Amino acid sequence: MTDKLEDYPVVVTIPVAWGEMDALGHVNNIVYFRYFETARMRYLERAGLIDIMKQIGIGPILARTCCTYRVPIYYPDTLTVGTRVSTIGNTHFNMDYLIVSERHGAAAEGDCVVVTFDYRAKGKASVPEAVIRAIEGLEGCPPGSKCVVEELDI
Amino acid sequence: MTDKLEDYPVVVTIPVAWGEMDALGHVNNIVYFRYFETARMRYLERAGLIDIMKQIGIGPILARTCCTYRVPIYYPDTLTVGTRVSTIGNTHFNMDYLIVSERHGAAAEGDCVVVTFDYRAKGKASVPEAVIRAIEGLEGCPPGSKCVVEELDI
Amino acid sequence: MTDKLEDYPVVVTIPVAWGEMDALGHVNNIVYFRYFETARMRYLERAGLIDIMKQIGIGPILARTCCTYRVPIYYPDTLTVGTRVSTIGNTHFNMDYLIVSERHGAAAEGDCVVVTFDYRAKGKASVPEAVIRAIEGLEGCPPGSKCVVEELDI
Amino acid sequence: MTDKLEDYPVVVTIPVAWGEMDALGHVNNIVYFRYFETARMRYLERAGLIDIMKQIGIGPILARTCCTYRVPIYYPDTLTVGTRVSTIGNTHFNMDYLIVSERHGAAAEGDCVVVTFDYRAKGKASVPEAVIRAIEGLEGCPPGSKCVVEELDI
Q: Quick one: pLDDT at residue D25?
A: 96
Q: Which residues of B touch A76 (CB under 8 A)?
A: none
Q: Quick one: pLDDT at residue C50?
A: 93
Per-residue buried b or exposed e for B33-62, using 16+ beta carbons within 10 Å of the residue's own CB: bbbbbbbbbbbbeebbbeebbeeeebbbbb
Selecting from C30, C64, C69 the residue whose C-beta is nearest the C-beta of B69 gives C64
Each residue of C71-106: pLDDT tens digit? Answer: 999 999 999 999 999 999 999 999 999 999 999 999
| Residues of C engaging B, defined by a Cβ cutoff of 8 Å | 29-31, 33-34, 37, 61-69
Selecting from B18, B37, B75 the residue whose C-beta is nearest the C-beta of D18 gives B37
Residue B1 has pLDDT above 60, yes or no: no
- Measure CA of the first residue to CA of the last residue in chain D; give whole Å: 22
Residue B147 has pLDDT above 90, yes or no: no
Q: Which residues of B touch A19 (CB under 8 A)?
A: 22, 28, 30
The CATH code of domain C5-150 reads 3.10.129.10
Q: Which residues of C touch D21 (CB under 8 A)?
A: 22-23
Selecting from B18, B22, B25 the residue whose C-beta is nearest the C-beta of A19 gives B22
How would you class D114 by CB atoms within 10 Å of its CB: exposed for 0-12, middle for 13-18, buried for 19 or more? Answer: buried
The CATH code of domain A5-141 reads 3.10.129.10
Could you give the 3-state DSSP secondary structure of residue B6? helix
Query: A34 vs C19: CB contact, 8 Å cut-off?
Result: yes
Q: Which residues of B touch C20 (CB under 8 A)?
A: none
Q: What are the residue ranges spanned by the domains of chain B?
A: 5-142
Residue A12 has pLDDT above 60, yes or no: yes
Q: Quick one: pLDDT at residue B58?
A: 94
* Long-range Cβ pairs for the range A100-106 (8 Å, 24+): A100/A3, A100/A5, A101/A71, A101/A73, A101/A77, A102/A77, A102/A78, A103/A74, A103/A77, A104/A71, A104/A73, A104/A77, A105/A71, A106/A3, A106/A70, A106/A71
Under the banding of pLDDT at 50, 70 and 90, the label for residue D1 is low
pLDDT (average), residues C60-64: 97
User: DSSP class of residue B8?
Assistant: -
Under the banding of pLDDT at 50, 70 and 90, the label for residue C20 is very high
Query: A30 vs D29: CB contact, 8 Å cut-off?
Result: no
For residue D143, the distance in angstroms to the closest alpha carbon of chain A comes to 33
| Alpha carbon distance B110, B86 (integer Å) | 12
Q: Which of D26, D107, D24 is nearest to D74 (CA)?
A: D26
Neighbouring chains of C at 3+ CB pairs within 8 Å? A, B, D
User: DSSP class of residue A96?
Assistant: E
Cis peptide before B142 (omega within 30 of 0): no
Query: A23 vs B28: CB contact, 8 Å cut-off?
Result: no
Each residue of B121-135: pLDDT tens digit? Answer: 999 999 999 999 999
For residue D30, the distance in angstroms to the closest alpha carbon of chain C comes to 9
Q: Quick one: pLDDT at residue C144?
A: 66
Residue D127 has pLDDT above 70, yes or no: yes
Under the banding of pLDDT at 50, 70 and 90, the label for residue A144 is low
Residue A102 has pLDDT above 80, yes or no: yes
Other beta carbons within 10 Å of C146: 11
Q: Quick one: pLDDT at residue A150?
A: 75
Reported pTM: 0.95
Each residue of C36-55: pLDDT tens digit? Answer: 999 999 999 999 999 999 99
Is pLDDT larger for residue B3 or for residue C110? Answer: C110
Under the banding of pLDDT at 50, 70 and 90, the label for residue D151 is confident
| Alpha carbon distance B99, D34 (integer Å) | 22
Other beta carbons within 10 Å of A108: 24
Each residue of A46-96: pLDDT tens digit? Answer: 999 999 999 999 999 999 999 999 999 999 999 999 999 999 999 999 999
Under the banding of pLDDT at 50, 70 and 90, the label for residue C150 is confident
| Residues of A engaging B, defined by a Cβ cutoff of 8 Å | 18-19, 21-23, 25, 28, 30, 75
Q: Quick one: pLDDT at residue D148?
A: 79
Each residue of B4-48: pLDDT tens digit? Answer: 999 999 999 999 999 999 999 999 999 999 999 999 999 999 999
Q: Quick one: pLDDT at residue C79?
A: 98
For residue C142, the distance in angstroms to the closest alpha carbon of chain B comes to 33
Each residue of D74-107: pLDDT tens digit? Answer: 999 999 999 999 999 999 999 999 999 999 999 9
The CATH code of domain D5-142 reads 3.10.129.10
Q: Which residues of C touch D30 (CB under 8 A)?
A: 19
For residue C77, the distance in angstroms to the closest alpha carbon of chain D comes to 15
For residue D22, the distance in angstroms to the closest alpha carbon of chain C comes to 4
Pure H helices in chain C: 31-46, 49-56, 129-138
